[in-house]
Copies of this chain bind each other. A is one copy, B any other.
């Protein structure tokens, strides 16, 4: 078998066999197939596509290139969740303790923020002492003892994907739906997931800007689940405006705590309940969605979720006093309101612009390894469809440096659109693919 023949086959729009995909992935991971062949192949995949079977074979081949976790001795069904990334998305921090409180163990590996999109690890690390670098043994031990882990990837999951992603980033081959799907699914499968709730976001603050692309990605990942014997469902959720109120690491950590206290913003609470319900059904803790939803609501109402967040923070070395007193979380020195320039109906709160503005304040990174400031960020006080009076605060800028305030204000005033005509609120979800 020769790499060039596999490239040619894909270039000509033909489907690659399992053996061909394994040859290519393994050869590339070992370094026998050079970057210049892999990038030509990736471009051919981007332009010619891959069917569900090929994408499944790619996913499984990449998952097999590194460490794999077998959670079957630790949990009865390994349920995972994955969000495709967005602005204000602190869902995992609230949902993992919620479902744990309902009896479903979850061992989850999360990521860091990049560009306009935030990351769970960065948010958790605003609590002093909290460790996100558990070893594989620590991961398994804590999942067994506590039934809950939220950490970074300390094991080498799907190194083929890591290597290929770095190459795609510099060769214009990122936005291929089969390559995105296999990248996400290979890591989840290597991490031992037997069932996965995917939260595929769509809108200007998501990687899939159109609903059509989000639906294609979600459908393909559900098919990969089916073809690889994993139970996968995908929620299609809105990311045209930020999720919840807070955007920024400590701000979002605080919002997750408040949510588990029953004081969360309506849209974020509804989002968490939906994700948690799907997880409880997949994990066979509930016989129906309705039952699952009632359980998840209880976990918010009775403080069960909050109690488990406390246990999670404690188990991973964090200072639990921050859970009881979230006002201890880092606070930015400058807090400046941005007021509505006119009265009317909010027609847009452009999520990507809000995310990028938060990055500009220091809340995120332009490239991997950049430092972040946990305290800074933006509170988004309005939602699409809402009526506002002129002069009423619509954002709060949380800034470290005075010179950052004015550019952020200008950007936020461009992110928001207020009109005379009433506007329908944006839906939270566009559907469920299962």
Contacts and interface: CB of A to CB of B under 8 A. Distances in A.
A11 interface: yes
Interface string A168-184: 00111100000000000
Nearest to A44: B43
Interface in A223-273: none
Interface stretch (A33-41, A106-114, A335-343, A398-406): A33-41
A390 interface: no
Interface in A23-53: 34-40, 42-44, 46-48
Copies in the complex: 2
A39 B33 CA distance: 13
A4 B172 contact: yes
A47 B37 CA distance: 16
A11 B3 CA distance: 22
Contacts of A40: 39-40, 42-43, 171-173
A381 interface: no
Contacts of A42: 40
A15 to B, nearest CB: 16
Given A11-B172, A37-B170, A43-B47, 13 more contacts: A3-B170, A4-B170, A4-B171, A34-B36, A36-B38, A36-B167, A36-B170, A39-B39, A39-B40, A40-B42, A40-B172, A43-B43, A43-B44
Nearest to A10: B172
A8 interface: yes
Is chain A's binding surface mostly helix, strand, loop or mixed? Answer: helix
Interface of A: 3-5, 7-8, 11, 34-40, 42-44, 46-48, 167, 170-173
Nearest to A38: B36
Nearest to A9: B172
A155 B311 CA distance: 74
14 contacts: A11-B173, A35-B35, A35-B36, A36-B171, A37-B170, A37-B171, A39-B39, A40-B43, A40-B171, A43-B43, A43-B47, A44-B47, A44-B172, A47-B48
Nearest to A167: B36
Nearest to A173: B40
A35 B39 CA distance: 9
A35 to B, nearest CB: 4
A11 B46 contact: yes
Contacts of A39: 36-37, 39-40, 43
A75 B19 CA distance: 59
Nearest to A48: B47
A62 to B, nearest CB: 18
A393 to B, nearest CB: 39
A171 B8 CA distance: 8
Contacts of A11: 43, 46-47, 172-173
A425 B47 CA distance: 42
B47 A171 contact: no
A42 B36 CA distance: 11
Contacts of A44: 43, 47, 172
A34 B429 CA distance: 43
